[in-house]
A = this chain, B = another copy of it.
Amino acid sequence: MTYTQLPTPKAEVSTQRLLKGETLFYQGDHTAAIFIVITGRIRLLRHLADGNAIPLYFANDGETFSEAALFSDVYHCDAIAEKNTEIEIHPKKALLDAFAVNPDLAMTFMAHLARQVINLRSRLEIRNIRSAEERVIQFLKLEISDPGNSITFASPLKDIAASIGLSHEAFYRVLSTLEREGKIVREGRKIGLVG
């Protein structure tokens, strides 16, 4: 899907495997790196003063997380593997050094962040659409707009459902309906918009 590439010198990048449930870092830990999920899922969890914890985000395949570590001495949340997960480790120092030596790389990373901002904003706006059917249609339009007139999802449809804030049942139902109405065509996870 979205290929994420950080401008870290290759020699400085390493990978790590986390077992389901394993913690990558704790809130308050000294920041050492920013990360990319290769496969799996990382749950980011913030602890509040009152002892409660709030899930901040789930980082899935291809996504970066803890980018703000670059600008902070400590992590502001826990990072825990939701399932067996492989991650890429980009040491903070290596990245910052790279930026200092080559400002172009800084601009590259900046662009990466800007793209994420846009992407997250549109995902937020999708959530404002109340009707499940309409939400799915708009989501598909957004996803498909660039490439062509169809998209093949890499992740299970039930995960797609979650990402747009629908129960998987509701999502399956909407897809069935849209297909029956001739608004989309499907072949497994390949979905095409008609009209």
Contacts and interface: CB of A to CB of B under 8 A. Distances in A.
Interface of A: 44, 46, 48-50, 52, 54-58, 67-68, 70-71, 76, 99-100, 103, 106-107, 109-111, 113-118, 120-125, 127-128, 138, 141-142, 145, 162, 165, 195
Contacts of A54: 122, 125, 138, 141-142
Contacts of A115: 68
A106 B108 CA distance: 11
A137 to B, nearest CB: 9
A138 B48 CA distance: 10
Contact of A70 (B46, B49, B58, B114): B114
B118 A117 contact: no
The 5 closest A-B pairs by CB, nearest first: A113-B113, A120-B120, A57-B121, A71-B111, A68-B114
A182 B111 CA distance: 46
16 contacts: A50-B141, A50-B195, A54-B122, A56-B125, A57-B124, A68-B111, A68-B118, A109-B110, A110-B110, A113-B113, A117-B117, A120-B120, A120-B121, A127-B127, A127-B165, A128-B162
Copy tally for this chain in the complex stands at 2
A190 B55 CA distance: 25
Contacts of A44: 121
B120 A124 contact: yes
Contacts of A117: 67-68, 113, 116-117, 120
Given A58-B125, A106-B106, A127-B127, 12 more contacts: A44-B121, A48-B141, A52-B141, A55-B125, A57-B121, A57-B122, A71-B107, A71-B110, A71-B111, A99-B106, A113-B114, A127-B165
